[in-house]
Every structure is written in C-alpha cells, then in structure tokens.
Amino acid sequence: MNVTVASPPVSPTFARRWHAVRPWLGTLVRLGLAAVWIVAGGAKVGDLAASGRAVNAYDVMPYDLAKAIGAALPFVELALGVLLLVGLATRLAAGVSAALLVVFIAGITQAWARGLQIDCGCFGSGGQLAAGQSPSYGPEILRDLGFLALAGFLLIWPLTRLSIDSWLEKK
C-alpha cells in the first residue's frame, strides 16, 4: 500500500527563491563544517599522544583502544574536512560527520552525567582539568548540536555550488 503525505502549501515565489538560495546556503554550510573538521584535526595531529589521552579521559574504553582511536581521530577529521572543502562525496562526509558528532555529544553527555572533570579535547589536547577548573559541557554539547544540524542539512541537500559533486552531476 502506497501512502502519500501531502506537503504543506508553499508559495511559488518562496519555492523559486529557496531553489535559487539553497545551493549557495549549502556551500556556506559545507565550507563551515569543513573548517570545523580541519581546525579540529589540525589542532590534534601534531600531538597524537595527547589526543589519545583526551579520548582516554572519557573513561569508556581500555587505554590502548583509546590511544588508537585518539591517534586516528585527527586524520579522520582532516579527511572529512578536505572532502567537504572540495565538495566530494558530500553526503557520505556529512553522514560520517553526523555519526561522529552523535558519538561526541554522547561522550560529553556521559562525562557530564558521571561528574568527570575533563576538557572535551575537541579542538586541542583535552584530558583531565586542573584543580579549580570547571568543564563547560553545556556549551560544548550545544556547539556540537549546531554542527550536527549543519551535517543534517548536507545529508538532505548535498549538492552545493563550487563542489566536485555538482560538477560530476552535470556530466
């Protein structure tokens, strides 16, 4: 049985404007998310041991596994950033981004719920906070939810201007 869901009425003017603006908005979203991944990965790639310690600070896996994930994570982030920057496999990169962001949000949330005193390590070394320092879990979760919204936009509308995907689509 086929079920058709009626779309809400949209004015033709709005539809034309959205059709014209959406690819450019998508380009800004794609480049913004690319910048996030490149900055995050670039901040960690110079000290993979610190990245491993940051992952280990969440206390959810054995140290050796946390160390391996921490060492690989900057390269995954950089790869996502480059794919998004050039607009290649945008939907795939957005999907992996969304999955990674959900893991990050879950990790920060569980650290907060368990009362851990850590820096998320999202844009640097992270790890245990010094005595007297307070974690900022709420803003970190909200920030990552914003990045998740960007990834969601690209999952729905992956074709953007100035991208390899759009160029390949025309061929």
Chunked into runs of 10 residues, the chain (171 residues) has average pLDDT values of 64 88 97 98 94 94 96 98 98 98 97 93 82 89 98 97 93 74
In a domain, 14, yes or no: no
The tally of domains found in the chain comes to: 1
Residue 8: the pLDDT is 64
In a 10 Å sphere around its CB, with 0-12 CB exposed, 13-18 middle and 19+ buried, how is residue 56 labelled?
Answer: buried
Domain hosting residue 59, numbered range: 23-170
Q: Please check whether residue 162 lies inside any domain of the structure.
A: yes
Helices (H), the chain: 12-45, 48-57, 63-86, 90-113, 137-156, 164-170
Q: What is the pTM of this model?
A: 0.90
What is the radius of gyration, based on Cα positions, of the chain? 19
Q: State whether the Cα torsion 86-71-117-42 is positive or negative.
A: negative
Is 5 within the bounds of a domain? no
d(CA 35, CA 81): 6
pLDDT of residue 2: 64
- What's the rounded Cα separation, in Å, for the pair 105 and 148? 9
Query: Domain for residue 151, yes or no?
Result: yes
pLDDT at 106: 97
pLDDT of residue 78: 98
C-alpha distance from residue 34 to each of 25, 64, 84, 128, 171 (Å): 14, 29, 5, 28, 25
Is 11 a member of any domain? Answer: no
Q: What is the pLDDT of residue 127?
A: 80
**pLDDT computed for residue 134 by the predictor:** 86
